[in-house]
Amino acid sequence: MSLLDRYIHEVGRFLPRKKRGSIQAELRSSVIDTLEGRFGPDPDRDQVAEILLELGKPRDVAASYHPRGQYLVGPGLFPLFQMIAWIVVAAVLGAQLLAFGVSVFIAGEPFSALETITSLVSSVPTALGWVLVTFMIMQYFDAKPYLEEEPWDPKALPDRNPEENLKKGELIFGLVFGILFLVLLTLFPQWVGFITTPGGKFFPNPVILNYLVLIQISLLANILMDIYLLWKGSWTFLTRMIKMALEAFGVVILAFLIQGHNVWLAGKGSPGFSAWISAIESNNWELVGMHAFRLAFVVAFIVTVIEIATTIFRMIRSKMAGDVSARDFVLKVE
Amino acid sequence: MMMENTQSEQYQKLTQELRRGILVLAALSQLEEEKYGYSLISSLAEQGLDIEQGTLYPLLRRLEDQGLLKSEWNTEGSRPRRYYQISSEGSQVLGNLTEEWRNLTNVMEKLLAGISS
């Protein structure tokens, strides 16, 4: 195989299959033309090497035939890829630790450091691999997740008042916990409950199991919404409304859960909120646990309702503040 | 010494960037008649513009993909060669780019008039 053949073959290795043959043929004929033009019809090996050296490394020559560059994930998709990758790593690590916690502390399985580390080391790259494969496919099909890019209007830049700024840390924290909780409910629904006596048997909460699907839907919707919010970077009227609708959905589920606990506790003859004292006195830990769950749901219910009310209040206030400042501006201009 | 090297590298990069912008115009201007890669390089070199082969060949492909050039293989000579010629769309673009280039050179001449070399 001549030096030129070897060079052309090597360039071909890095070329797209569709155009490989034609580019190789053209490159060969051009190099021979150059050799003839400079050294006559019979160039020696050193002269061939000189021309090939001028042409450049095979990999670089092939790369110059890729008009849009060679990327697994290009600059357009990279910020989104980076964000999703971090969320996935946090969620996978959290889920692993949670699963580990459940198996050791609740199921009472023996602790194996090696197994824990092995599963951590293998699960993170696997999850990242899937994210990468998804983005590679998006890159291949030239997917454009930023729909608002064209045509671009500077006047349409979001006017970010402090009310619209996202609290990113809070959002990621909530997101990771949402994912963990969803993983827990999906993989180990039987482990949502409590231990009736120290070292005693585990009692899965029957009311939560009843509303499992609704809880999962709510968690998933919130997770998707939080990812969308992180991607967008700020609140809009629409996202606030959707978030509120999701919170309202959460409130409804909480109401169901509280009602479910009421019915269960009434069925056991321990209906009222003060009945947990007599449950403690009688050492009935099943009842105490269910009372505790109900109390937690009542607190969550109140907190969520307050959150919704605060959001509505903020929206009204920011709307009014916007109107006032707009009026001030008009007055000043006049 | 290190500093000199960095400066010369920097100068080389800047020159490359400056030249890269005119290569399309230069190539289109020479392809009213069909030419193959090496003959285009020679023709440009004779007129004082040296282009590396590794730069020109992919550029010709790109211009063809954009519809500014058309090409065909000619097997009549001593070996098959791919000949390129400007397309009607390419001629239009060449006209516009030429006008743009003349405006730019006028402006640049004015801007650089006061600078001693």
Per-residue pLDDT averaged across A272-294, rounded? Answer: 80
What ranges make up the beta strands (E) of chain A? 193-195, 202-204
Q: Name the β-bridge partners of A334.
A: none
Which residues of chain B make contact with A60, given a CB cutoff of 8 A?
A: 54
Rounded distance, CA B114 to CA A70, Å?
Answer: 43
Rounded distance, CA B9 to CA A81, Å?
Answer: 34
Give every CB contact of residue A58 below 8 A, 6+ residues apart in sequence.
A7, A10, A11, A13, A14
From A117's Cα to the closest Cα of chain B, the distance in A is 47
Per-residue pLDDT for A312 more than 80? Answer: yes
Domain residue spans of chain A: 3-63, 71-155, 158-334
B57 with A30: Cβ contact below 8 A: yes
Domain residue spans of chain B: 22-112
Per-residue pLDDT averaged across A120-140, rounded? Answer: 88
B54 with A55: Cβ contact below 8 A: yes
A34 with B61: Cβ contact below 8 A: no
Q: Which of A69, A93, A94, A73 is nearest to A82 (CA)?
A: A73
For the domain covering B22-112, report its CATH number. Answer: 1.10.10.10
Q: Does A55 touch chain B (CB under 8 A)?
A: yes
Tell me what pLDDT residue A98 has. 73
A30 → closest Cβ in B37, B62, B73: B37
As for the ipTM of the complex, it is: 0.82
Q: What one-character-per-residue DSSP string does A34-63 give?
A: HHHHHH-SS--HHHHHHHHHHH--HHHHHH
Helix (H) or strand (E) holding A215: helix A212-232
User: How confident is the model over B21-65, as pLDDT tens digits?
Assistant: 899 999 999 999 999 999 999 999 999 999 888 889 999 999 999
Q: Cβ(A123)–Cβ(A96) under 8 Å? A: yes
- Amino acid B55 reads T
A65 with B55: Cβ contact below 8 A: no
Tell me what pLDDT residue A106 has. 59
Secondary structure of residue A234 in the 3-state scheme: strand
Tell me what pLDDT residue A84 has. 85
Binned at pLDDT 50, 70 and 90, residue A324 comes out as: very low
Tell me what pLDDT residue A163 has. 59
Q: Does B52 touch chain A (CB under 8 A)?
A: yes
Q: Does A67 touch chain B (CB under 8 A)?
A: yes
Helix (H) or strand (E) holding B46: helix B37-46
